[in-house]
Amino acid sequence: MSSIEQLATPALLLDLDVLERNLARMAERADALGVRLRPHAKTHKCPQVADLQRKNGAAGITVSTLREAEVFADHGFDDITWAFPVILSRVDEALALARRIDLGLLIDSRVALEALAARHDGSGSLRVWLKVDCGYHRAGMAPDSAELVALATDVAATVGIEFAGILTHSGHAYDAADRGAIRAVAEQERTVMVEAAARIRAAGVDVPDVSVGSTPAMSAVESLDGVTEARPGNYAFFDHMQCVLGSCEPVDVAVSVLTSVVSRMPDHSVVDAGALAMSKDPGPENGAGMGPVYDEERPGHLHPSLQLASVSQEHGIVNRPLAVGTRLRIMPNHSCLTVACFDEYHVVRGGTVVDRWKIWRGR
Amino acid sequence: MSSIEQLATPALLLDLDVLERNLARMAERADALGVRLRPHAKTHKCPQVADLQRKNGAAGITVSTLREAEVFADHGFDDITWAFPVILSRVDEALALARRIDLGLLIDSRVALEALAARHDGSGSLRVWLKVDCGYHRAGMAPDSAELVALATDVAATVGIEFAGILTHSGHAYDAADRGAIRAVAEQERTVMVEAAARIRAAGVDVPDVSVGSTPAMSAVESLDGVTEARPGNYAFFDHMQCVLGSCEPVDVAVSVLTSVVSRMPDHSVVDAGALAMSKDPGPENGAGMGPVYDEERPGHLHPSLQLASVSQEHGIVNRPLAVGTRLRIMPNHSCLTVACFDEYHVVRGGTVVDRWKIWRGR
């Protein structure tokens, strides 16, 4: 136990009070919407956070890389979905993991199913999801295509593989102009998925689960009828992007980067939080450069004019000349990428550092 | 020893033939210009690469973080400059390191000198550089200021601290429009530093070293008269930005990201190299999105039309529909930031993987 004041910088702070509140709220929301919660652990990459999510009713977790899946398996998580189209050169690693835990894999092509079927010896527990494009158009099968029904039929018929259902991600919710538009994206996601499931079922194939997920959509959606599972991730921490989208308020953002002024120039300061601490995520278009700065006088509120204006590799530029040694807290534009810059969280309650939790990076 | 074809993706490849050629060329260039070379290891974060630089005549190394300094000290490097304005909350760590190796620290404020002097017990070898602003205006003291001469005088007079000299970084070379403009920046850097050194010397203070450095400036400069040391870093690997600046050709870029197509969409492909593999560095303005793609038919050349168009956390978007399983090599926009995404290099010669070298991330 020590004070934040004593921490060397740069440091990634995780506010445990805020985290606990965020997890409890999303658990209530999933309950109210009648869906199971399978949080995306790519945001935090941390077994301690996933454990809190489990205590808040999470039914399994989602990951974005095989390395994350392995780390969480090593920490006692036995029901994991790798929600990224399976990488053909990683199939053997994935199948090995499926012999240790209940593993869900994601595909949107026949090539991927054939690669799985060819290498799978039938041992272990392997569920295969079909990725459906609900309108984001990044990846996934067209929801009204004959290929979707045909591939679902073939997955279900493959010996040793269980057809898990259909899965999508409404990433276009991040491009929505306002809350109404986000709500419309969420409703579109639901409708598209429910209809796609109905088409597959009409072909005589059972669709056990219909999985959706993005933090903005989960914050705005009014109904998830016909959906069984949601996979938001960012909601655990939130960030500046989510504030601008209206998913949260600044007081709800659980992670921040503690930084120090190292150089005072005539019109700006240099701090020790550059691209290697914040990432180069540009954040929202109407945003505050590479990250807003918290107002130390008003905990949980942003400073009205200070901002991290730009970053290079290890240098950050704050838009005002401040005394060398001044300490600031910066809100990440995108917490998932900022977290991936660090090896550990300094876990805080109020001004006290109560723990250090390892961040398991890697792929 | 295995083939690149057998590697799981995404993977960071380091071409040893290209690296060795880059290191030899820069060593020759420094020799011809009459300066010692103290390469910036923030680009590679790898003792094996630094060892090759030492074999190519490097006199010590430069780092951007204290963690990097500690790692290289642990690997037998005993002459290191931490070329970032000293972080006040890290002074004790820095002084502890100065008891193990010859450590150079950088300051541009009286506050920082006072912090060092107050905590330093005089043991070990501590050199202090003054950072001078040669026109980039990111950090450093004004070269024509009375404060510069006064602080140099006080550093030189501080018991237990050795005044190392003055140091600058011509980061504005990256904004230059063409080779002539880069050459002008390099000459400005040299002139400013030589004149600043003369002013300090005129006050009766010895200035042992005058240190400059950036890869574009080193590639274009015609004379470094009056300069004693250069600290380029990126030249070891180069990247897309350096190609556009004319520091190198595509065939000179030593690192690339090997990636696989995981999803084929109507107008694009999804690959497993997103922001967590490439970084979100936007690269040159007239660039190729988040990274050009190599032409597998013509080794060392870029594909005329394929590019990594955009990245999100773990997804990359390539601008053409390609078969699932297709493997591509992407040139980083900014190799320093791409390297910082990975834990190891797969070291290759031709199509053969000859070694794996650890990348020491952290701060």
What digits encode the pLDDT tens for the residues B306-328? 999 999 999 999 999 999 999 99
Are A60 and A38 within 8 A, CB to CB? yes
Which pairs count as long-range contacts for B154-161, CB under 8 Å and 24+ apart, including other chains?
B154/B110, B154/B113, B155/B107, B155/B113, B155/B128, B155/B130, B156/B205, B156/B206, B158/B113, B158/B116, B158/B117, B158/B128, B159/B122, B160/B120, B160/B121, B160/B122, B160/B123, B160/B126, B161/B116, B161/B117, B161/B120, B161/B126, B161/B127, B161/B128
Q: CA triplet B290, A11, B71: central angle to 5 degrees?
A: 80
Q: Which residue of B has its CA nearest to A86?
A: B262
pTM above 0.95, yes or no: yes
Q: B-chain residues within 8 Å CB-CB of A10?
A: 363
pLDDT for B288 equals 67
pLDDT per position as a tens digit, B35-56: 999 999 999 999 999 999 999 9
Using DSSP, state whether B62 is helix, strand or coil. strand
Q: In what order do the strands lie in the sheet with B36-37?
A: B36-37, B229-230, B209-212, B162-167, B125-131, B102-107, B79-85, B61-63
> Where on the phi/psi map is residue A9: left (φ > 0), alpha (ψ -120 to 50), or beta?
beta
Q: Which residue of B has its CA nearest to A64?
A: B314
Q: Which residue of A has its CA nearest to B88?
A: A325
CA nearest B14: which of B361, B338, B363?
B338
* A:B CB pairs within 8 Å: 151
pLDDT for A287 equals 65
Mean pLDDT (chain B, rounded): 96
Are B215 and B174 within 8 A, CB to CB? no
Q: B-chain residues within 8 Å CB-CB of A265?
A: 133, 137-139
pLDDT per position as a tens digit, A19-70: 999 999 999 999 999 999 999 999 999 999 999 999 999 999 999 999 999 9
Considering only the beta carbons, identify the residue of A275, A314, A361 that sits closest to B84: A314
Cβ contact (<8 Å) for B314 and A140? no
Per DSSP bridges, beta strands B209-212 and B302-311 are: unpaired
Angstrom distance (rounded) from CA B312 to CA B304: 24
Cβ contact (<8 Å) for A312 and B139? no
CA distance A304 to chain B (A): 24
* Residue A75 pLDDT exceeds 90: yes
Cβ contact (<8 Å) for A282 and B277? no
DSSP A87: P
pLDDT for A125 equals 82
H or E segment and range at residue A27: helix A16-33
> At how many degrees (to 10) do helices A91-98 and A110-119 cross?
60
C-alpha count within 13 angstroms, C-beta hemisphere, residue B16: 16
Residue type, A132: V
Query: Is the C-alpha dihedral spanning B3, B5, B11, B15 positive or negative?
Result: positive
pLDDT per position as a tens digit, A321-347: 999 999 999 999 999 999 999 999 999
The mean pLDDT of A172-196, rounded to a whole number, is: 94
* ipTM, two decimals: 0.96
Q: B-chain residues within 8 Å CB-CB of A262?
A: 84-88, 112, 139
Q: A-chain residues within 8 Å CB-CB of B84?
A: 262, 272, 314-315
The mean pLDDT of B118-139, rounded to a whole number, is: 93
